[in-house]
Amino acid sequence: MINKLSIRQSIREQRKRQEQAEIEWASKQITEKLKTLEAYQNATKILSYAAMPLEIQTSTIHQKAREEGKQVAYPLMGPNEGEMTFYEVDRLEELEVHYYGSLAIKEPNPSCHTLIIPSKGDIMLVPGLAFDRKGGRIGYGGGFYDRYLIKYPFLYTIGVGQKFQLLETVPMEETDQLLKALLISDKSWGCEEIQVI
């Protein structure tokens, strides 16, 4: 089995070859499918992420969820090693860019946003580089989502990505947390929901 580093490198290269229109199309398909999910319809809080340029874009999800009266929260990487918290954000323009190595991530400001503590029935949209049908995920290597999900295992986690990110299997470590569902977009058939549990 190939290792996580090799998978990360391979998926990053594939993402770089995409046209912006492909990312926008995939994001639209995932947004439309997400709105049909019972878990989304019943959720009062959506723990989302501010997408980087080559990721599935979440701005339309944010807008739709806010129109429906849902709270939408975004992660902030904490001062303590590996810590992550979520804060409610009304408008995406309120997010501030922070740098973690070569990654520029838009995050909330804890001095002007409200801390969100998740409850049963809330959902979390989880970005990643690679996924498998058993709920396995390879992220960017920081372990932030895994540590957060250990604290809140009841969250309904949905990995979002494109067909080239769905692998037969991804290597998992003891601390890696499985996702509960995936929304995977493909040019030939739209968006597939994969129920893991």
**Predicted confidence (pLDDT) per residue in 103-120, tens digit:** 889 999 999 999 999 999
Please enumerate in sequence order all residues whose Cβ is within 8 A of that of 147, keeping only pairs 6 or more positions apart, or say none: 82, 83, 84, 175
**Predicted confidence (pLDDT) per residue in 160-172, tens digit:** 999 999 999 999 9
Rounded to two decimals, the pTM is 0.92
> C-alpha angle with apex 100: 169 to 154, nearest 5 degrees?
50
Instruction: Tell me how far apart the alpha carbons of residues 89 and 180 are, in angstroms, rounded to a whole number.
Output: 25
What three-state secondary structure class fits 137? Answer: strand
What three-state secondary structure class fits 166? Answer: strand
